[in-house]
Amino acid sequence: MKPLSKKARLGSGIFLGVIFVILAPILLANSFGYHFDKLEDVFTLVKSGGIYVASDVSGVEIYVNGEYFKDSGLFIRNTLVQDLDPNETHEIVAQKEGRNDWRKTLPVYESLVTESRVLMLPVNIDTVEIYPFVDELGMGTTTATTTLKKNSELAEEVLVNGYVPSNILYRDLVNLFSGEDDDVYSTTTSLISDDLQTPLIGENDSATTTATSTKDIPEYFVDLGIENPEDLENLIELRNQVAWIDNGDIILNWIDEDDKPLYYYCLDNVECRDRIILDWESEIISFNFLPGREDVFIVLTRDGIYAVEVDDRSDRNIQEIYIGENLDFMKSSDDSIFVRDGFVFHEIIL
């Protein structure tokens, strides 16, 4: 191959030098969070911002302002969206087949990253049914077997059509929902007919109960103007937050004076609130926090159970957990969710 002439080499060097002079400032500016934008018909460098999307779901498609951005990874599932125009809001949408979509319209500020976290429950949530009785084939049923006898010692609400449940796990759940310190079935001496010798409950089969301990009134209740925390309905304390129900709404408070409130308390980059109110369209009967989350409520209403974002910087994402009337739910000590629907308990598999 014939080498380039001296003139050609000089021309190429000048051309590459010009390209470097043009691109170097752009690349350097971009590394410091600037990008070119058109302001009043003039292209200029603008300081950009970003949005951090935390996720516990892998393989999620992320869209920014209606355009595909990227898929979240299998192991590193979080996504950082950079170079967004500041002092504007940007729509982030997360999608995955079989999961509920998550969408949020969030503000972006110069040189700052706006935090967010997706809520993407399965569209069809699996459940495991726990029945009060077991038939001759070992299958769960709501019908007492002929070997059982009716009980007249216990309250009607802990019986099933007058019978003590023969399923030990079912009785454990009845105890969990009762909120009592003692076993609600402790007065039962025999569950089966008098002519049968072996009872269905042995000495070591008593249900595990959840004990509650008396606590001193924390100082933050005084700061909140609460004299008797025991009077608060559905009071829950979770690390730096405390929440309860007031007139059918959830009142959530940040109580750590030494630490800045979490991102969803902050409507802008200047000042954060200490209180968030979830005002449901109908009365909230009870609530808890979704297992592993301090930014999502499990909410029981008259028509079902829902997962609801605490974050109200734009419309809250609300996703169904279990639909029905006259329901109840509890979260066990190991963070399992159980729903009581009539005479059947359902363990929720998220």
> Which pLDDT tens digit goes with each residue over 104-128?
999 999 999 999 999 999 999 999 9
Question: Per the domain annotation, does 143 fall within a domain?
Answer: no
CB-CB contact of 115 with 79 (8 Å): no
Output the six-digit token pair for 228.
């008797």
Residue ending a domain, among 100, 117, 134, is 117
pLDDT at 270: 85
| Amino acid, res. 292 | G
Question: Per the domain annotation, does 345 fall within a domain?
Answer: no
Rounded-to-integer distance, Cα 236 and Cα 289, Å? 9
Phi and psi dihedrals of 171, rounded to 5?
-65, -35
Rounded-to-integer distance, Cα 183 and Cα 201, Å? 13
pLDDT at 217: 85
Residue ending a domain, among 117, 141, 160, is 117
Q: Are strands 113-117 and 79-84 parallel, antiparallel or unpaired?
A: unpaired
pLDDT at 52: 97
The three-state (H, E, C) secondary structure of 165-204, written as one string: CCCHHHHHHHHHHHCCCCCCCCCCCCCECCCCCCCCCCCC
| Amino acid, res. 102 | W
pLDDT at 288: 98
pTM for the whole structure: 0.80
Output the six-digit token pair for 287.
């609530």
| Amino acid, res. 318 | I
pLDDT at 203: 32
CB-CB contact of 193 with 147 (8 Å): yes
pLDDT in tens, the chain (350 residues): 566 566 655 666 566 555 555 544 444 445 444 544 544 444 454 579 999 999 999 999 999 999 999 998 777 789 999 999 998 999 999 999 999 999 999 999 999 999 999 999 999 999 999 999 999 898 999 999 888 999 989 999 999 999 999 999 999 999 999 988 899 998 654 444 444 323 332 333 333 333 334 457 899 999 999 999 999 999 999 999 999 999 999 999 999 999 999 999 999 888 999 999 999 888 999 999 999 999 999 999 999 999 999 999 999 999 999 999 999 999 999 999 999 999 999 999 99
Question: Per the domain annotation, does 34 fall within a domain?
Answer: no
Question: Per the domain annotation, does 151 fall within a domain?
Answer: no
Output the CA–CA distances (angstroms, integers) from residue 96 to 102, 105, 118, 348, in the order listed: 9, 19, 12, 20
Longest CA–CA separation in the chain, Å: 113
Collapsing DSSP to helix, strand or coil, 297 comes out as strand
Half-sphere exposure of 73 (CA within 13 A, CB side): 6
Rounded-to-integer distance, Cα 198 and Cα 192, Å? 8
Number of domains in the chain: 2
Question: Per the domain annotation, does 36 fall within a domain?
Answer: no
Question: Per the domain annotation, does 317 fall within a domain?
Answer: yes
Residue ending a domain, among 81, 101, 117, is 117
Question: Per the domain annotation, does 341 fall within a domain?
Answer: no
Q: How many residues does the chain have?
A: 350
In eight-state DSSP terms, residue 285 is -
pLDDT at 146: 87
For residue 304, give its domain range: 219-332
Question: Per the domain annotation, does 38 fall within a domain?
Answer: no
Output the CA–CA distances (angstroms, integers) from residue 151 to 83, 141, 164, 188, 336, in the order listed: 69, 18, 7, 8, 30
pLDDT at 196: 33
Encode burial over 160-177: b for 16+ CB neighbours within 10 A, e otherwise.
beebbbbbbebbbbbbbb
Residue 88 sits in a domain whose CATH number is: 2.60.40.10
DSSP string of 8-26, one letter each residue: HHHHHHHHHHHHHHHHHHH
CB-CB contact of 99 with 57 (8 Å): yes
Output the six-digit token pair for 106.
């969030």
